[in-house]
């Protein structure tokens, strides 16, 4: 490798960052260009240093590692997730992360991940790696909705959402007995949702097809969509043909 590998470290635990940094500093092919402990710091770090490789924790204040990737400017670096939780492994590989290292790890496991990264960076051009990561992140964005409310960030998988209701410049996401207010227009959110999972039934309502229990006529002759939760929603005439094909 003609130049030293530029590496960044993002983890909300200072001791964890120090441990990763010490291991990286042992490798003469590596330069640690910076570290960050939360979402905003991570975004600024990536923008200012443009690392080739990122060791990234999943859970951190203000967001998570996946949101770092969805909000970061392009091109994205090669990513190795380092986390204490194995629940996010499938999502990590869905965004084409190179590796997923579980804490606590030993020196050998960390070195293995670093060597894999060096080999991948020798093999593939930076543009190829960045494009692959971008495609994975875009796919992830389409399957998750990030809801921010009064300093709290909630990550919802598409399939959790039963139905969506328009509310001026917001939408209300109905998940079981809970309702989340999300700042995004109905049309913008609909464009991101998987059309195989969701159907527009009214200008003010989108439903998860999985939650659609029946479609029936009401007393006035209009069409009504009944969800598995018992919620009944009117189906606009302009959407009735489409909804009938689902029934």
**Kind and range of the H or E run holding 218:** none
pLDDT above 80 (res 234): yes
- Give the DSSP per-residue string, 97-165: -SEEEESS--HHHHHHHHHHHHHHHHHS-HHHHHHHHHHHHHHHHHHEEEEEETTEEEEEEGGG--EEE
This prediction's pTM? 0.56
pLDDT above 90 (res 220): no
Domain identity same for 40 and 87? yes
Looking up residue 130, the CATH number of its domain turns out to be 3.40.50.2300
The whole domain housing 22 covers 5-143
Domain termination site, one of 90, 115, 143: 143
Domain identity same for 89 and 131? yes
**Segment 105-124, tens digit of pLDDT:** 999 999 999 998 988 887 76
DSSP-assigned letter for residue 211: G
From residue 142, alpha-carbon distances to 65, 87, 172, 201 in Å are 16, 19, 18, 20
**Segment 198-210, tens digit of pLDDT:** 999 999 999 999 8
pLDDT above 60 (res 130): no
């Amino acid at each position: 490798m003609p130049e030293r590998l530029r590496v960044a470290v993002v983890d909300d635990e200072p001791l964890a960052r120090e441990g990763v940094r010490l291991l990286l500093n042992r490798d003469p092919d590596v330069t640690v260009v910076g570290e960050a402990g939360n979402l905003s710091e991570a975004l600024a770090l990536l923008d200012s240093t443009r690392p080739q490789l990122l060791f990234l924790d999943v859970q951190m204040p203000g967001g998570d590692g996946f949101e770092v990737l969805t909000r970061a400017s392009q091109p994205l670096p090669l990513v190795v997730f380092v986390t204490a939780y194995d629940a996010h492994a499938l999502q990590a590989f869905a965004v084409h992360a190179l590796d997923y290292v579980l804490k606590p790890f030993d020196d050998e496991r960390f070195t293995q991940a670093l060597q894999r990264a060096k080999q991948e960076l020798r093999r593939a051009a930076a543009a190829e790696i960045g494009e692959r990561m971008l495609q994975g992140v875009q796919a992830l964005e389409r399957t998750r909705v990030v809801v921010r409310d009064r300093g709290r960030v909630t990550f919802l998988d598409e399939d959790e959402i039963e139905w969506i209701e328009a509310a001026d410049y917001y939408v209300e996401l109905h998940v079981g007995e809970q309702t989340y207010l999300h700042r995004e227009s109905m049309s913008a959110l609909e464009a991101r949702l998987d059309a195989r999972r969701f159907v527009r039934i009214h200008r003010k309502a989108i439903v998860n097809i999985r939650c659609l229990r029946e479609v029936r006529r009401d007393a006035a002759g209009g069409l009504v969509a009944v969800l598995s939760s018992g919620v009944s929603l009117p189906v606009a005439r302009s959407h009735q043909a489409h909804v009938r094909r689902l029934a």
